[in-house]
Amino acid sequence: MKKKSLGEIISEDIKKEIISGKYQAGDKLPTERELAEYYKVSRVPVREAISLLTQEDIVSVKRSSGIFVTNVPPSFISSGKNTPYLKNEVILQESVQLRCLIESEGSRQAAVHANAEDIIQIQESLFRSIDEIRKLKAGQDHYFFQADADFHLAVANASHSDFFTNCLSAMPQIISNHQYWSLKNTTPMDEVVSYHTSIFEAILTKNPDRAYEAMYQHLSRVKKLLTSKTPENTGK
């Protein structure tokens, strides 16, 4: 087995800290000098670690500003090829199906119970997700994962049901896995915009059945993409 370099070890440690919640998307990481002092190494392996994290779209380096967390990686994802969770197509399908059932009903309830403040929150989340998709498509720094999660949480909050809100809040890593594979395998971003817009419009017009169907179609599409793009099916 190839021995890991210092840079690889440091990058994995930083990744673990991000996953643990110590750093959130948008947070600034310590400087190269501070990281070198913390790990008691020169700046060379620190730069290697940052380069590796940049390649994974986990951090970005902004000139004269510093190192920032771009996206929070799913906790079940690793660089290894034997990650059981990701290679288990059944678990991915079942977890998406679970989201279909929970979030679709949550969307229906949001169409019934959403107030003016909820509508504003969903709309702002929608606009932000559209903006982040634009950045992603342009190859710019983006916070798509967070914006997408915020939209779904805003819909759940609008249901005014602790059950739906708590369910969604309790499975961030499951959602991250769905986002990771959808993005990794080039989910048509225009589809995401269309689905999110349909969900918002159904809630805005207080159409429960349409809200349910819009969310169900959205997550069913995610399930279809995951089924065809996971390593088990692609041979990777």
Whether pLDDT at 35 is above 60: yes
88 vs 205, higher pLDDT: 205
CA distance 103 to 153: 9
CA nearest to 150, candidates 115, 174, 175, 113: 175
pLDDT of residue 83: 40
Q: How many angstroms separate the CA atoms of 32 and 47, rounded?
A: 7
Q: What is the pLDDT of residue 49?
A: 93
- The arithmetic mean of pLDDT across residues 145-161, rounded, is 92
**Mean pLDDT value across residues 107-127:** 97
At residue 94, the pLDDT reads 80
The CA distance from 48 to 213, in Å, is 47
- List the structure tokens of 113: 């119970």
Domains in the chain, CATH or no CATH each? 6-69 (1.10.10.10), 84-234 (1.20.120.530)
Radius of gyration of the chain (CA): 19
CB 208 within 8 A of CB 104: no
How far apart (Å, rounded) are the C-alpha atoms in residues 105 and 109? Answer: 6
Per-residue pLDDT of 40-67, as tens digits, reads 889 999 999 999 999 888 899 988 889 9
Confidence (pTM):
0.63
**Strands (E) located in the chain:** 59-62, 66-69
Q: How confident is the model at residue 89 (pLDDT cuts 50, 70, 90)?
A: low
Quote the pLDDT of residue 88.
52
